[in-house]
């Protein structure tokens, strides 16, 4: 039972150990279930094949080390799951896979207690033997309802394990690429196991109809006698009741904990939106967001793995405990600056101010973090602005439908030219386009890419004009401005409208150069800085100088009539 995705108490020295314990015990149990299911699958071949493999299965799990490992894992996993139930803030915040994992996990002991006591328990208490033949005989002949329950237990245990594995692996890059095969394995293994279980059950029913088979089977292996059976069933009932009381106790403790926290709210937490809420000492920022219905991304459910809950700390940063080793590792992985913390791992202090950095519905893609410039960095990049000349006039003479059609065709062609040259489309503004080059590279490669994009745009424009000849009175003409220099690059925006963009003087200048193409009657204007960074022949185009607001010196530019003439 890989516990539900509940916050571990932050700053708790046990947190790391609990995560390790949950994962290790879950993997041991998953290995046990997998080997057991594969053993079942051999029923498609023959019962004897199941028996032979079962001997190997017992070699693995029956000796003392295997027993300690298996039952230790059960104890650790169930204990951590019940602890998680107690610490869960609100069950109604859980999303369907979390609910499924919790419900299925809690159901597993109930479904398997009798099987475990009737096999391993009977062996330990009464030296009663059990193997595939005896167990199949019990389940398919003596008490057929047990066969159905066992099939349900098989599906429940496997599904629970698969969900747990998925939660664990979902942030690993290789797993993202291995979704297909992983899903296939998740379906094939239980299908084969169930098929083997049913096939062997049918086989055992046929054998049981043969005269004398049941007597021979009874003589072959010692089974619990009537009084032992009575005692064993009593034990099964006690174990079920004991387990149910434990689960019930965990939910009651959860309710008591919630009302305790509610009464003791004495700290204030301020959000970047200006909202101020009350909090209790020891609660995390994410817990408070959930309790106060403040949308907050938390793809991993608060386990400190995904980083989607990250917040920028305003006031109070200097009073916060430093990040734990595990939190620091995640923050380092995403290149977070010192004022960014994981909300699920950071306990609230009085007067803390936080701003969640990702939209509430961020997915695992956001969880993978990304380059450090997403948080804001100064980068030397090339910036492109492009605009359709006289588009206002064109749009005034056409139906809205035609305008949208023409613009979308234009954006598709220009977008392909920019991306095909290695650039990043930043935004479309009206009929204008802004693009960035060299964000992942350097000044000179970005400059070369920008020039290549301008040339490709010009070439594609010719083709576009040919294909739109019937829709346009005059061909579309564009102006392009290119400049390179330092920009502040980062992920900016609000809510779902966020994206990588750049701001700064370089951006303004590139936009200004694009505007100048109209005055200079050319298609492309490139700053001299970009020409020299790209290695373009200095005699390209016509050189001139312009005044730029905020600069004491004039700026050297090159005016190029047709970007297709660029020799790159
Ligand atoms: S919710 Fe995933 S790291 Fe905090």
Residues 186, 286 within the same domain:
no
Distance 315 CA to ligand 1 centre (A): 21
Q: How many CA atoms lie within 13 A of 362 on its CB side?
A: 28
Residues 309, 385 within the same domain:
no
7-43: buried (b, 16+ CB within 10 Å) or exposed (e) per residue?
A: bbbbeeeebeebbebbbebbbbbbbbbeebbebbbbb
Residues 206, 253 within the same domain:
yes
Distance CA 416, CA 410 (A): 10
In a domain, 8, yes or no: no
Residues 203, 126 within the same domain:
yes
Residues 221, 353 within the same domain:
no
Domain extent at residue 560: 372-565
In a domain, 554, yes or no: yes
Nearest to 458 by CA among 372, 526, 357: 526
In a domain, 505, yes or no: yes
Distance 362 CA to ligand 1 centre (A): 11
Domain of residue 533, CATH code? 3.30.70.1230
Q: Which of 284, 294, 303 to mutate to test the pocket of ligand 1 (most atoms within 8 A of CB)?
A: 303
In a domain, 1, yes or no: no
In a domain, 480, yes or no: yes
Distance CA 49, CA 55 (A): 10
Residues 283, 248 within the same domain:
no
Domain of residue 18, CATH code? 1.20.1300
For every one of its 568 residues, what pLDDT tens digit does the chain have, with 9 covering 90 and above? 433 334 444 445 566 688 889 999 999 999 999 999 999 999 999 999 999 999 999 898 889 999 999 999 999 999 999 998 998 877 877 778 888 999 999 999 999 999 999 988 988 898 888 889 999 999 999 999 999 999 999 999 999 999 999 988 877 768 877 888 999 999 999 999 999 999 999 999 999 999 999 888 888 888 888 899 999 999 999 999 999 999 999 999 999 988 887 777 778 999 877 788 988 888 899 989 988 888 888 878 788 888 889 998 988 999 998 998 888 988 887 778 888 999 999 999 999 999 888 777 665 555 555 555 555 677 899 999 999 998 888 888 777 888 888 899 999 999 999 999 999 999 888 899 999 999 888 899 999 999 999 999 999 999 999 988 888 888 999 999 999 999 888 877 766 677 778 888 899 899 999 999 999 999 999 999 999 999 988 888 899 998 877 677 889 999 999 999 998 8
Distance 182 CA to ligand 1 centre (A): 24
Q: Which residues contact 135 (CB under 8 A, 6 or more apart)?
A: 119
Residues 381, 420 within the same domain:
yes
Domain total of the chain: 3
In a domain, 154, yes or no: yes
Residues 417, 345 within the same domain:
no
Domain of residue 291, CATH code? 3.10.20.30
Residues 28, 64 within the same domain:
yes
**411 contacts 433 by C-beta, under 8 angstroms:** yes
Distance CA 325, CA 342 (A): 12
Q: Which of 285, 289, 333, 342 to mutate to test the pocket of ligand 1 (most atoms within 8 A of CB)?
A: 342
Distance 440 CA to ligand 1 centre (A): 27
Question: Mind giving me the DSSP string for 192-224?
Answer: HHHHHHHHHHHHHHHHHHSTTHHHHHHHHS---
Residues 96, 222 within the same domain:
yes
Which of 260, 281, 306 finishes a domain?
260
Distance 391 CA to ligand 1 centre (A): 47
Q: Which atom of ligand 1 is nearest to the CA of 301?
A: 1
Which of 204, 239, 260 finishes a domain?
260
Long-range contacts of 418-423 (CB under 8 A, 24+ apart): 418/384, 418/453, 418/456, 418/457, 420/453, 420/456, 421/449, 421/450, 421/452, 421/453, 421/456, 422/449, 422/452, 422/453, 423/384, 423/449, 423/450, 423/453
Residues 481, 521 within the same domain:
yes
Measured CA distances, 40 to 93, 133, 190 (Å):
38, 12, 9
Distance CA 208, CA 141 (A): 8
Report field, pTM of the whole predicted structure over 0.75: no
Which residues does ligand 1 sit against, CB inside 6 Å? Answer: 298-300, 302-309, 342, 344
Distance 295 CA to ligand 1 centre (A): 14
In a domain, 162, yes or no: yes
In a domain, 9, yes or no: no
Q: Which atom of ligand 1 is nearest to the CA of 308?
A: 2
Q: Which residues contact 185 (CB under 8 A, 6 or more apart)?
A: none
Distance 49 CA to ligand 1 centre (A): 46
Distance CA 85, CA 288 (A): 17
Residues 482, 542 within the same domain:
yes
Angle (CA) 87 91 94, round 5°: 110
Pairing of strands 377-388, 432-437: antiparallel
Which of 260, 281, 315 finishes a domain?
260
Q: Which atom of ligand 1 is nearest to the CA of 367?
A: 2
């Amino acid at each position: 039972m890989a516990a539900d995705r509940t916050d571990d108490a932050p700053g708790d020295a046990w947190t790391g150990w609990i995560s390790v314990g949950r994962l290790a015990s879950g993997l041991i149990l998953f290995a046990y279930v997998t080997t057991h299911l594969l053993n079942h699958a051999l029923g498609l071949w023959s019962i004897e094949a199941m028996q032979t493999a079962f001997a190997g299965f017992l070699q693995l799990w029956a000796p003392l080390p295997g027993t300690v490992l298996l039952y230790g894992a059960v104890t650790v996993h169930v204990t951590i799951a019940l602890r998680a139930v107690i610490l869960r803030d609100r069950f109604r915040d859980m999303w369907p896979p979390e609910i499924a994992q919790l419900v299925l996990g809690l159901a597993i002991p109930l479904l398997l207690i009798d099987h475990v006591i009737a096999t391993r328990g009977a062996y330990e208490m009464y030296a009663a033997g059990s193997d595939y033949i005896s167990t199949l005989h019990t389940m398919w002949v003596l008490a057929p309802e047990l066969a159905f329950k066992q099939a349900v237990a098989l599906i429940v245990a496997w599904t629970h394990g698969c969900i747990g594995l998925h939660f664990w692996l979902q942030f690993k890059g290789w797993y993202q690429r291995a979704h297909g095969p992983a899903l296939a394995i998740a379906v094939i293994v239980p299908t084969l196991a169930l098929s083997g279980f049913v096939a062997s059950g049918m086989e055992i029913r046929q054998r049981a109809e043969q005269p004398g088979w049941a007597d021979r089977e009874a003589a072959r292996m010692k089974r619990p006698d009537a009084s032992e059976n009575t005692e064993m069933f009593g034990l099964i009932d006690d174990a079920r009741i004991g387990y149910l009381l434990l689960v019930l106790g965990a939910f009651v403790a959860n309710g008591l904990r919630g009302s305790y926290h509610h009464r003791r709210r004495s700290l204030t937490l301020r959000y970047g939106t200006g909202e101020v809420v009350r909090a209790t000492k020891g609660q995390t920022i994410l817990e408070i967001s959930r309790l106060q219905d403040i949308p907050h991304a938390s793809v991993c459910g608060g386990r400190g793995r995904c980083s989607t809950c990250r917040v920028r700390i305003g006031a109070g940063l200097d009073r916060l405990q430093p990040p734990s080793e595990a939190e620091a590792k995640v923050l380092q992985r995403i290149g977070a600056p010192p004022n960014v913390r994981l909300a699920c791992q950071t306990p609230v202090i009085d007067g803390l101010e936080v701003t969640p950095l990702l939209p509430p519905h961020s997915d695992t893609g956001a969880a993978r973090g990304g380059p450090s410039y997403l948080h804001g960095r100064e980068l030397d990049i090339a910036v492109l602005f492009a605009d359709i000349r006289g588009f206002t006039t064109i749009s005034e003479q056409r139906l809205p439908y035609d305008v949208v059609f023409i613009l979308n065709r234009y954006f598709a062609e220009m977008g392909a030219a920019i991306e095909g040259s290695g650039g990043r489309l930043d935004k479309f503004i009206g009929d204008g386009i802004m693009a960035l080059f060299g964000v992942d590279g350097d000044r000179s490669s970005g400059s070369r890419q920008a020039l290549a994009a301008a040339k490709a745009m010009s070439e594609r424009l010719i083709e576009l004009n040919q294909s739109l000849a019937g829709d346009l009175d005059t061909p579309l003409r564009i102006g392009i401005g290119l400049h390179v220099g330092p920009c502040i690059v980062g992920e900016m925006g609000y809510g779902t409208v966020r994206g990588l963009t750049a701001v700064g003087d370089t951006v303004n200048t590139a936009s200004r150069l694009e505007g100048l193409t109209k005055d200079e009657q050319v298609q492309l204007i490139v700053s001299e800085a970009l020409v020299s960074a790209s290695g373009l022949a200095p005699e390209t185009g016509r050189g001139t100088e312009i005044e730029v607001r905020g600069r004491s010196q004039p700026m050297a530019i090159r005016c190029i009539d047709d970007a297709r003439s660029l020799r790159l």
